Amino acid sequence: MKIKTGSEYMSSLQATNPVIYYKGEKIEDVTVHPATAPHVRAAAMTYALASQDEYHDLATATSHLTGREISRFTHVHQNVEDLIKKVKLLRVLGQKTGTCFQRCVGFDGINATYATVYEIDKKHGTNYLERFKKWLIRIQDENLMVVGAMTDPKGDRSKSPADQPDPDQYVHVVERRDDGIVIRGAKVHMTGAVNSHEILVMPTAAMNEASKDYAVICSLPIDAPGVTMIFGRQANDSRRDLQENLDVGKPSFGVVGGEAVLVFEDVFVPRENVYMDGETDFSGLIVHRFAAHHRANYGACKTGLMDVLTGAVTYLAQIQGTAKGSHVRDKVTEMIHLSETLYSSSIACSAEGVPTPSGAYMVDTMLANVCKQNVTRFHFEVARLAVDLAGGFIATLPSEHDLRNEDVGHLVKKYFSGVEGIPVEDRMKIGRLIEAMTGGTAMVESMHGAGSPQAQRIMIFREGKLNEKIKLAKALAGIPSRKEKEVYPQLISREK
């Protein structure tokens, strides 16, 4: 692998020249700008773990394309063991960073694309997979970070892509040339976009023939001409931008993943980097596969974050002298219970994984959706319990400036102290960490990342095998079997 360490990753970003705006100004270097540097450091951890003996087996894999050692974040899953190792790696990274480390979207996009373009080729006689393999080998050998670009703005959501008053609300092909295509539109909520090397564009929904210009998969460099990024704001970002380290809560790493709007203004993509162009019959399948892979992740990375939050509130209870209270221990026990229950969902959908026709392995899609549905409840409950146990001071805590002030600093130290012998700075730091991890941006991402809760409920209902369950109930009740119209159509998964 060309990029092997976190520092090499940061240096590689400085060799790119993307167009990025934040709060109306252009960012020249994401590795040092206070708005983006914490997110760069979080992503760098994915590189750093691979060089540590303890995590090397989790963080690396053997490429089925070249036989060479690669980052697991560029690997195509070859068996159930790969799926489970991914889950274990993501939990460790959540524990190490306490935030999003940003490489999962590209990772899942690679796997969904590989499996889907194989089937496009089989049906339509295209050669997309060979093109994709050539690109992927370069990604693997250089160990590049890929942003998976799937979510479109969508405009008027009651209308299909082709019926939008503004056609750019979904990324689409505006020109086809002998040597490639030209695309226009935008992708939103792009985690890690500003500190990636490459973009993998994918469709965001199932489409009909009228929307064939929107059924496109392609890859391009992050600094391709015509690509502009607008970096989003996050909770407490003014503290981060001013580098008020104690008040940030997590001075080393970002609050979530560093999301951006990714805009394509007549961007040219060479033909060899186009992997779907108008095959609308497969646009829904890639979304289905990507969503399942990504929803499976949340039971791992969010469990890592919940581990940190549980540790933080337990330590705060020690500082405040409440650790031995039966109600405290009971609530901490519940936090652990919810975390491990969520983690078991992620392990289960991986353990039940099956091969696609391409040979790439796919998680159990029903269990993956159950996993993400649990995230939208369990993570919030763990956060609620953490805030309950921490107390109201995390919402009214004076700033670091007051702590350092000659006139009132001694008062802050006096009246925010806890158990004797523990510095007041420790109580303030751990309180700010809890505030950061239970605040608006972090929890919104848990709710809507990888799709809203309703998206999972739709998939759970579709894959619930209700007709089969009706037959089970009728058999036990002694109701004769007879031909009846099936009321609940099943989602037919190509993996089963």
Confirm or deny that 204 is annotated as ligand binding: no
Helix axes 283-320, 80-97, angle to 10 degrees: 40
The position carrying tokens 């983690």 is 343
Active site residue 259: yes
Active-site choice (46, 60, 99, 191): 191
Active-site choice (47, 275, 298, 361): 298
Strands 198-201 and 259-270: unpaired
Active-site choice (301, 310, 376, 441): 301
DSSP state of 249: S
Active site residue 425: no
In angstroms, the CA 78 to CA 94 distance is: 24
Collect all residues with Cβ–Cβ distance below 8 Å to 102 and sequence separation of at least 6.
39, 42, 43, 145, 191, 192, 195, 196, 257, 258
Active site residue 47: no
Active-site choice (259, 279, 400, 463): 259
The closest alpha carbon to 42, from 96, 90, 91, belongs to: 96
Active site residue 298: yes
Active site residue 189: no
Active site residue 301: yes
Element (H, E) at 280: none
In angstroms, the CA 444 to CA 322 distance is: 30
In angstroms, the CA 355 to CA 353 distance is: 7
How would you label 90-113 residue by residue, b for 16+ Cβ within 10 Å and e otherwise? Answer: bbbbbbbbbbbbbbbbbbbbbbbb
Strands 216-221 and 25-26: unpaired
Dihedrals phi, psi of 26, to nearest 5 degrees: -85, 135
Q: What are 233's two structure tokens?
A: 């704001």
Quick check: 301 and 94 in contact, CB under 8 A? yes
Active-site choice (46, 47, 60, 100): 100
The closest alpha carbon to 244, from 403, 39, 392, 40, belongs to: 403
Segment 447-451 long-range contacts (CB within 8 Å, at least 24 positions apart) = 447/376, 447/380, 449/189, 449/191, 449/298, 450/291, 450/294, 450/295, 450/297, 450/298, 450/372, 451/291, 451/294, 451/295, 451/372
Active-site choice (39, 288, 294, 379): 294
Active site residue 198: no
Active site residue 218: no
Dihedrals phi, psi of 232, to nearest 5 degrees: -80, 160
Collect all residues with Cβ–Cβ distance below 8 Å to 455 and sequence separation of at least 6.
291
Query: Annotated binding residues, as ranges?
Result: 191
Query: Annotated binding residues for FAD, as ranges?
Result: 191
Residues with catalytic roles: 100, 104, 191, 259, 294, 298, 301, 445
